[in-house]
Chain A
Amino acid sequence: MNRAVTPTSLPDAAGHYDIFGGRYVPEALVAALNQLEAEFDAAMGDPGFWRELDDLRRNYSGRPTPLTDAPRFSRHCGNVRVLLKREDLNHTGSHKINNVLGQALLTRRMGKTRVIAETGAGQHGVATATAAALLGMECRVYMGRVDTDRQALNVARMQLLGAEVIAVESGSQTLKDAMNEAMRDWVASVDNTHYLIGTVAGPHPFPKMVKEFHRVISAEIRAQMLDRYGRLPDGVAACVGGGSNAMGTFAEFIDTPEVALYGFEAGGDGVETGRHAAAIEGGSVGVLHGMRTYILQDADGQTMESHSISAGLDYPGVGPEHSWLAATGRATYEAVTDAEAMDAFEVLTRTEGIMPAIESAHALAGVMRLGRRLAVEQPDASPTIVICLSGRGDKDVDTAIRYFGLTGKPDSATGGAA
C-alpha cells in the first residue's frame, strides 16, 4: 500500500490539539524533538521511505491483517454486528510493531545507532527489541521493577532478542517511572540515541508521528469494508491506555462523522473506587510526560497510581488527541472494569476461537455493553462496528489462570492402571 498522508488541521505547528498536547520538556530535549519532527516530515514525503516501510509491513509483519466476521460473538452484543480487525496476527503479537518499524527506520535515517524504550507489560519492549535486532541497532528497554517481576517471560524475550532490560526502582516502579527513566537516559544520550515512545503520548511530535504509523489500521479497515461490503462501518471501537491502537483505528474516520468512534478505558475495580486507569473518564487536565492531557492526579497535581488487570492499559495518562476528541465529543470514551473485560475475554475465546489480549478485551466488553444498550435505544437498527483486536492473549494466560481459578491440570485421566 502506497499512500500519501492526509493533511489535517491538527495539531498546530507546536503540537497543540486546542488546549492539549504541546511540549512540556526540558530545553535539553528541544533540539532532538525538532530534529525528529523535521526527519519525520521529510520521511512522510519520501516515496522511498514508504516503499521500505510498506515492504516490512507486508513481508515482515504480515499486513494487511484480516477483517474477521464474528457472528457467534455478535450474539452477545445486542443488535450490533461485530467485525474484528486482527492486529493480533501481526508479528510479535500486537499492533505495536506498526509504530516500531516506522520509528526504527526514522532512527536509521537520523544516523542514530541506539534506541531506548519504555514498556509496561513488555509488548512495546519486545516489539522495539525486535526492530532493533532486524536493523542491527543497540537497544535498551526500561521497565518498572513491579512489571519485570510480573512479566518475566517478556523480559527473557527481550534479552533473547539482544536488548538490555533495566528495572526501574524509582517512584511507583511501573510504566510511568519507566518513561521518566527513558527520558533521563535520552537527555544524556540524545546525540546517538532515539527514544522510541510506544504510544500516541509524550511531547510533540510523538503523538502525531505514532498516529501516522498506526493509521494503516483504519486505512485497511476502510478499504476492506468498501471492498467486501460496499460501505463504511457505523462505528469503530478500540481500547485506550495511552491510545495508540485506538488512534490508528480512528485516524481515517475522524473526518467522517457518520462513523462513530468508541474508546474504552481501563476501569479497574470501577472508576468510583478510585482504583482504575481511566484518565478521560476519571481524571482531570494536567501536564505529564511532556504533554497537556487528561491524567490521574491528586489535589496538588502529583500523579496517582493507575490500576488495571491489563498491564498494557495501566497508565495514568492518555494521548492528547484523545483528550481533544473527548472534549469535542467527536469520540465517545467509557470505562470498562476488570471483571467486564475478563468476561469478554472468555466470551470471545469460547465463541470465535480467538483468545484476545486483556487490553483488547476491554474494547470487546465495551461493545457488548454498547450493543445491549443500542438494542433498547434503537431496536430497529443493526449497526456494524469494527473492533480493533489489538493483540493476542498468549501473554495473558498466567493472568487468566489466576483470574478464572484454573489449575493447569487435566480435567481427567485415562488409560492408566486401575
Chain B
Amino acid sequence: MSVTAGPAAGSAAAFAAAKQQGRGALVGYLPVGYPTVPGSLAALRALCGEGGEGPGVDLVEIGLPYSDPMMDGPVIQRAGTAALARGVRTRDVFAAVEAVRSTGTPAVVMTYWNLVDRYGVEAFARDLAAAGGSGLITPDLIPDEAGEWIAASQAHGLDRIFLVSPSSTDERIVATAAACRGWMYATAVMGVTGTRSASPTAAPELVARIRALAPGMPVGVGLGVSNGDQAADVCAYADAVIVGSAFIKPLLAAEEAGTPDDLSGLRAVLADLTAGVRR
C-alpha cells in the first residue's frame, strides 16, 4: 500500500527526519491544562527543548483531557482530572498546538471521540489545521466508525493516527493501515497507558506483523517506556517510541512539592530519553 505524505508539517515528516539521522523518533505526550493552561504551554515548549540544553522530542502529542478516559492509566488520569477541575476547555488545545509549533516542532492531538464530536468534526479539523496541527490520534475511534473524520481530515490535510493492538487480526491491521494517514500507533501492551507488558516479545511481534501487512507504514509504539534504555530498545524495531506517563510524573511531583512551575524534572527525563533514541 502507499502512504500519503502529509503537508510539510505532517507528523510522519518528523519520523522521516529522525530516520535520516539513523535513529528512531521520540514522541512525547503532555495534556493541555495541567498544571494550568499557561503552565501546560510552558511544559509543552520545554518538551520541545526550549530553555534546555539538549534537543527536544521529535513530535509532540498533546492530550485533551476527557471526563471518561477509558484507555488512560492512573498517572494521565490524575493530571487530566486536575486539568478538568481547573477548567480546561476544548479550545485550549489549539493554543497548545500553536505553542508547540512556535518552537518548530510538529504537534498532533490525542483525545477521546466525544469531545471532537461535540465540537463538530469538520470544525475541529478546520481549527486544528489552522493552529498548525499535523493530525489527531483517536484512541476510542476505530476506522469502522470514522467516516466523518476521514472526510474532514482529508479535506484539511490532517494525519489520522488509528491504533492497533496485539489482539488485532491481520484483516483489521490491513484495514486500519489503509485508513491511517501519516503513521500508525501500536499499543503494544494489552492494557492502559503507563503499564508495562508482561511479554517482552509482544511489541516487536506486533510491529513485525504490521511491517509484513502494511509495508511502508511508519509505526510508533507506546508501551509504558520510562527511560532512555527502554526507548533505545523500542527504536531497534519501531519508527518511533511514544512516552507519556514518564513526562507527567515529574510535573505531578513538582506540584506536590509546591513548585508547580518547576520544569527541571521534566527536562531531566527529556535528556535521558532524547539520548536513548540517539544511542
Contact = CB atoms under 8 A, between A and B. Distances in A.
Interface of A: 14, 22-28, 30-32, 170-172, 176-177, 180, 183-184, 187-191, 286-290, 295, 297, 299-303
Contacts of A295: 114
Given A31-B167, A303-B67, A25 B190 contact: no
B192 A187 contact: yes
A27 B117 contact: no
Contacts of A24: 113-114, 140-142, 145
A27 B114 CA distance: 16
B142 A287 contact: no
A14 B144 contact: yes
Nearest to B64: A300
A23 B68 contact: no
A300 B115 contact: yes
A26 B114 contact: no
A254 to B, nearest CB: 25
A231 B140 CA distance: 47
Interface string B130-172: 0000000001111011000000000000000011111111001
A27 B69 contact: no
Contact of B168 (A14, A31, A187): A31
A286 B118 CA distance: 7
Contacts of B67: 171-172, 302-303
Given A27-B162, A188-B192, A188-B195, A180 B68 contact: yes
Most buried by A among B118, B139, B165: B118
B77 interface: yes
A26 B140 contact: yes
B248 to A, nearest CB: 15
Given A180-B69, A286-B117, A300-B90, A26 B187 contact: yes
B163 A26 contact: yes
B176 A26 contact: no
A23 B113 contact: no
Contacts of B68: 171, 176-177, 180, 288-289, 303
Contacts, number: 113
Nearest to B72: A184
Interface residues of B, number: 41
B190 A28 contact: yes
18 contacts: A23-B144, A24-B142, A26-B139, A27-B176, A30-B168, A171-B81, A176-B68, A180-B68, A184-B70, A184-B71, A187-B192, A188-B195, A191-B190, A286-B117, A287-B117, A301-B115, A301-B119, A302-B115
Contacts of A286: 114, 117-118
Nearest to B139: A26
B163 A27 contact: yes
Contacts of A14: 144
B59 to A, nearest CB: 21
Contacts of A171: 67-68, 77, 81
B224 to A, nearest CB: 12
Most buried by B among A30, A191, A286, A301: A301
Given A26-B140, A187-B71, A32 B113 contact: no
Nearest to A287: B114
Contact of A188 (B115, B163, B164, B191): B191
A380 B71 CA distance: 57
Contacts of B66: 302
Nearest to B192: A184
Contacts of B71: 26, 184, 187
Nearest to A170: B77
B89 interface: yes
Contacts of B163: 26-28
Nearest 5 A/B pairs, CB to CB: A301-B118, A28-B165, A188-B191, A31-B167, A287-B114
A295 B68 CA distance: 13
A272 B214 CA distance: 53
A299 B144 CA distance: 26
Interface string B93-115: 00000000000000000000111
B84 interface: yes
B73 to A, nearest CB: 8
B74 interface: yes
Contacts of B166: 28
Nearest to A14: B144
Contacts of B165: 26-28
Most buried by A among B77, B162, B165: B165
A79 to B, nearest CB: 44
A35 B164 CA distance: 17
A287 B70 contact: no
A233 B115 CA distance: 43
A302 B118 CA distance: 9
A180 B69 CA distance: 7
Given A27-B164, A171-B68, A301-B90, A287 B192 contact: no
Contact of B167 (A172, A180, A190, A300): A190
A191 B67 CA distance: 28
Contact of A31 (B73, B114, B140, B169): B169
B136 to A, nearest CB: 15
A31 B170 CA distance: 11
Contacts of A288: 68, 114
A54 B192 CA distance: 38
